[in-house]
Amino acid sequence: RLAEFYERAGRVETLAGGDGSVSVIGAVSPPGGDISEPVSQGTLRIVKVFWGLDAGLARQRHFPAINWLNSYSLYPPSLDQWYRDNIKSDFPELRTEISALLQVEAELQEIVQLVGSDALPVDQQLTLEVARMIREFFLQQNAFHDVDTYTDLKLQYTMAKAILSFQEESKKALAGGAALEDVVNVPARTDLMRGRFESGYEEKIDKMLETMIKQIAETMEDN
């Protein structure tokens, strides 16, 4: 019966002749949050995707409150070629790198809780800043905002690429003697993150990224 329900999802041709898709998202809330019970396991076997809702993220006003560490999808191997053909050839690798950074952040946060972030080496402090960009700039979303409520895959790719470009250029600047505080506080980085709430962001983001890279390079000259 579960399969019959979820199999209604997929690509469809509407009665009006249009082409579209139907998505089905089931909310399974077992007693005590124990997803090892039969209904949860049966659902996971069918849908092959799990979004773990996180009360802690909701309390922090981080929406959608989906825990990126325990959520997963088994579909990437089937979709990777489509992403390469229709978005960018390195889309799957970019996704993997973003996920890996969030995993590293979780490990570093355990150390931060004990000794504070200032005790970490500069490269690890940078990793925390990059992960914060992923969380606040890429994952966080305002469904009630006219612009932020929807982001197509090509813009998602560009945003993720911008984050990793910030990381790469920041590493170069730090190696050249720049101070971490100067690097993370370049004005263009703030503009890049706030710009996603503005209409026409797709046309502006490349210029914003170019300006950010230039400003990061200038932090080496100031030291």
Over the stretch 91-110, which tens digit does the pLDDT of each residue have?
Answer: 999 999 999 999 999 999 99
Identify the pLDDT of residue 14: 87
Q: Rounded distance, CA 175 to CA 91, Å?
A: 28
Given a contact cutoff of 8 angstroms between Cβ atoms, the answer to whether 41 and 35 are in contact is: yes
> From its phi and psi, is residue 32 left (phi > 0), alpha (psi between -120 and 50) or beta?
left
Over the stretch 5-41, which tens digit does the pLDDT of each residue have?
Answer: 888 888 888 889 889 999 998 888 888 878 888 888 8
The kind and range of the H/E element at 104 are helix 91-115
Bridge partners (DSSP) listed for residue 10: 22
What are the Cα distances from residue 160, in Å, to 31, 108, 140, 221? 37, 21, 13, 27
HSE, CB side, 13 Å, CA atoms: give it for residue 9.
10
Where do the domains of the chain lie? 76-221
Over the stretch 141-198, which tens digit does the pLDDT of each residue have?
Answer: 998 999 999 899 999 999 999 999 999 999 999 999 999 999 999 999 999 999 999 9
Q: Rounded distance, CA 169 to CA 188, Å?
A: 13
Bridge partners (DSSP) listed for residue 50: 72
DSSP for residue 135: I
Q: Rounded distance, CA 170 to CA 127, Å?
A: 10
Q: Is the pLDDT of residue 137 over 70?
A: yes
Identify the pLDDT of residue 223: 64
pLDDT band at 220 (very low <50, low <70, confident <90, very high): confident
Q: What is the CATH number of domain 76-221?
A: 1.10.1140.10
Strands, E assignment, the chain: 10-13, 19-22, 49-53, 66-73
